[in-house]
Chains A and B, each alone.
Chain A
Amino acid sequence: MTQDDLPAIFRDFNPLDDKILQIIDREGKLIRKDLMPELDDATIIDAYRQMLYERTADEMAVSYQRQGRMYTFTPNLGQEAIHIAAGMNIRHEDWLVPAFREMGTLLSKGVTMKEMFLFYLGNEWGGSFQNAHHTLPIAISIGTQLQHATGVGYSVKYRRKDETVFTFIGDGGTSEGDFSEALNFAGVWQVPVIFTIQNNQYAISVPVQKQTNSINLAVKSVAFGIPGIKVDGNDFFAMYLAYKTAAEHARSGRGPILIEALTYRLGAHTTSDDPSKYRKKEEEQLWGKSDPLIRLKRYMQDAGIWSIDEEQLREQYKAEIDREFTEAENEKSYPLEDVFTHIYSDMPDELRRQKSEYEQFLSWKEKRG
């Protein structure tokens, strides 16, 4: 691909120069009016509401886990601008190949909080996202999902479909071989895949500086001959522009794109993790000031389009989310059948035998009392 084929922002924010696409600054002040995406007030308000919904759901999930009502959860706190900007650019027919920390994007594909909760309550039905079209389950094995995304991209291209693939990975995941293989295959095959690295700066406890000697993560695209860009992941407008541009690029048959979204995981890696062991309070506080919700809110206030009663909206969301959690909590118990049914399309005799032997044990146990 020549420089001329690149969308303008990919030329202007060349990752080799370590530039970062930013439209509002850390105080929410508009600094690149020329790049501001054309969004009407209602859309901006909607974006904020979605981010607030994700934030509220996230906080409640952590709280349910703390109350002992839910198992391990992976918080999204601080990364909502990425998720919602992606979600606003992903169409019904597009594919979402998630990692495990992009809840807002999953919600925009039609995943419900009930399903999310059911998954973190330990039920595969929740994580299967039955009603979310073209949405793969959460990938826990780091980096492997990127190759699935590239394969889906091949399939889309082969079937001449107008579908774009959105996939995610973290900063630590870029060290995996699968990351490089997926980008390499995508480059060779020129498939419509938008790869997002959510660089939240920590892979559990390991800082990004220990993952790579590259000047940034977007620069990794250069070796694979695909466009890449580093974006302020806490700037909703920058993320929106990046996704809009990337989607136009991919949808016009010009191949894959890599977006590094520079952000910060304000919460823990999972509810079993304690960040105070490996990072300083001051650092967290500094990044807390760059909270994507606060920045967007300040922009909206400055622009005179802030019309949200945040406290009331939060209460409304809390009630909605709590209803979904209660539904998930009260879901019917997990039948033995569910352990066996979906391993194969047709259950092999060996599985039938194991299931039936276990059922005999259960009836023995029941008789024994």
Chain B
Amino acid sequence: MSVMTMVKAINNALEIKLKEDEHIVVYGEDVGVEGGVFRVTEGLQKKYGTERVFDSPLAESGIVGTALGMAVSGLRPVVELQFEGFTFPAFNQILSNVARIQNRSRGKYKAPMVIRFPYGGGVNALEHHSDSPEALFAHIPGLKVVIPSTPHDAKGMMIAALESNDPIIFMEPKRIYRAIKQEVPDEKYTLPLDKARVVQEGSDITLVAFGAMIRECQKAIVMAEEAGISVELIDLRSIYPIDRETIRTSVRKTGRMIVVAEAHESFSVGSELIAIANEEAFLYLEAPPRRVGGFDTIVPLAQGEPYYIISPDRIFYEIEKTIHF
């Protein structure tokens, strides 16, 4: 066991797989010499050489499009897109080809590749550096979209992603890249890419969250417990495929659900979860399932971001409202 941040845990996962599987190549903007702007790939080029870990030209569509070419011809590329706001030049390749090549070729070609990028707000960043576009990717058939919330999960999910035969969108909550330190096994392990995790059990209400919002929910739960409310917290981990079973079981038990997610509320993962709660637990519901999400606005710059970002007390406020519905 070693104490690791999420940055270190992902780095460790990449290193384990680079060592084990010569088909893995890692590239993107600044991932080589610099080790990535967040240092997720730090030290990897030195160890595995410039042919396997390298800086590409600054063009996201090119990065993803070439990775698909590598993936169909025997490699397992892992590409970094520097920020979520810069994934969109590559969106056409992702949607039109990466997600479709397997279906288009009736399984003759697969796209075993990982597209990873930091996402999410709360870091006082410039525009395009605070967004949560998971729903945009989750809406595309052919992709798997996953988001870890702890160093331990990040390592196990990244290794699983690197062994998957399907393209994985691996979104990394940059706000907690270094904020959480955790004991992580040094050896290789994998975690499923389609299973939510019950972070803590409770009986009055289900909170569903993922990424950086897990930590905020945990803070809100402390407040709720002081008020005598028993909260079940679910870390979704996989946005698609979505773990319907875990949601069903929990909401049938508690009869209440709040989804906490940074993304714009409308047409969000929260919207999908509410649909699931209605389909799977309609007769068990004690209160309308709710979303606590970002506004349907552009994420404000640093001065306005505190309005947008979801704070623990706002989550607690929503918990109380739902409990007393």
Contact = CB atoms under 8 A, between A and B. Distances in A.
| B partners with A | yes
Contacts of A154: 66, 69-70, 75
B62, B77, B165 — which one has the most chain A CB atoms within 10 A of its CB? B62
Interface string A344-355: 110011100100
B73 A178 contact: no
A124, A144, A149 — which one has the most chain B CB atoms within 10 A of its CB? A144
Contact of A136 (B65, B72, B110, B141): B72
Nearest to B106: A128
Contact of B67 (A151, A181, A182): A151
B102 A342 contact: yes
A181 B69 contact: no
A124 B245 CA distance: 33
A127 to B, nearest CB: 7
A156 B70 CA distance: 9
Interface in B57-77: 57, 59, 61-62, 64-75, 77
Nearest to A140: B96
Interface string A185-208: 100100000000000000000000
B68 A148 contact: yes
Contacts of A350: 240-242, 244
Contacts of B107: 128, 341-342
B121 interface: no
A155 B76 CA distance: 10
Contacts of B56: 185, 188
Contact of A343 (B25, B74, B141): B141
A273 B81 CA distance: 39
A182 B62 contact: yes
A147 B276 CA distance: 39
Contacts of B67: 151
Nearest to A148: B69
Interface in A79-108: 95, 97
B103 interface: yes
Number of chain B interface residues as a range? 35 or more
A159 B107 CA distance: 22
Contacts of B297: none
A152 B67 CA distance: 8
A158 B101 CA distance: 22
B92 A343 contact: no
Interface in A131-146: 134, 136-137, 139, 141, 144, 146
A148 B97 contact: yes
B283 to A, nearest CB: 19
Contacts of B64: 147
Nearest to B243: A349
B69 A149 contact: yes
B23 to A, nearest CB: 9
A14 interface: no
Contacts of B101: 136-137
Contacts of B73: 95, 134, 151-152, 155-156
B66 A349 contact: no
B66 A147 contact: yes
B109 A136 contact: yes
Interface in B128-169: 141-142, 144, 164-166
Contacts of B110: 345
A144 B75 contact: no
B74 to A, nearest CB: 6
Contact of A184 (B57, B72, B105): B57
Nearest to A177: B61
A153 B69 contact: yes
A144 B106 contact: no
Given A128-B106, A182-B65, A348-B241, 9 more contacts: A97-B69, A136-B109, A141-B97, A148-B69, A155-B70, A181-B62, A184-B62, A185-B56, A344-B102
29 contacts: A125-B106, A129-B108, A136-B105, A137-B104, A137-B105, A139-B97, A144-B93, A147-B68, A148-B65, A150-B62, A151-B71, A151-B73, A151-B77, A152-B70, A153-B69, A154-B69, A154-B75, A177-B89, A178-B93, A181-B57, A185-B62, A341-B107, A342-B103, A342-B107, A344-B142, A349-B194, A349-B244, A350-B241, A353-B244
Interface of A: 95, 97, 124-125, 127-130, 134, 136-137, 139, 141, 144, 146-156, 158-159, 177-178, 181-182, 184-185, 188, 341-345, 348-350, 353
